[in-house]
Amino acid sequence: MANWKNHERKTAAALGGKRISRGMNFSLSAPDIEHPLLSIECKYRQKISGFLKDGLKQAERYYPEKIPVLVLKEKHMRGELVVIRLSDFKAILEG
């Protein structure tokens, strides 16, 4: 099975959602995972930017007992992006 499919299945299971299988209808009709609260799109890559991983590790070093969060903003971008580990995000949702 393709790694990206496994990633989608694992994410759906972790967050209590259902993976949507669309055949060749990629990204046209629905997100990757059906969830009652979230619109979840999964991306799988051979390598993720070290900039992202390093930022999250830096946040973790300051307070290892807290959930590390990386907030990103690109020049001229509306809003910000939040990067958090899936396990930590799941814990927050289950609150």
Is pLDDT at 31 greater than 70 in this prediction?
A: yes
For residues 2 and 41, membership in a common domain is answered with: yes
Closest Cα to residue 40, out of 27, 49, 52, 50?
27
Q: Do 21 and 53 fall into the same domain?
A: no
For residue 87, give every residue at least 6 positions away whose Cβ sits within 8 Å of its Cβ, in sequence order, or none.
14
Residue 42 shares a structural domain with residue 1? yes
- Tell me: the pLDDT tens digits for 35-50? 999 999 999 999 999 9
pLDDT of residue 12: 97
pTM of the model: 0.83
Matching residue, tokens 């290892």: 64
- Co-location of 39 and 51 in the same domain: no
63, 86: one domain: yes
What is the number of domains present in the chain? Answer: 2
43: nearest Cα among 67, 11, 81: 11
Give yes or no: residues 27 and 69 share one domain: no
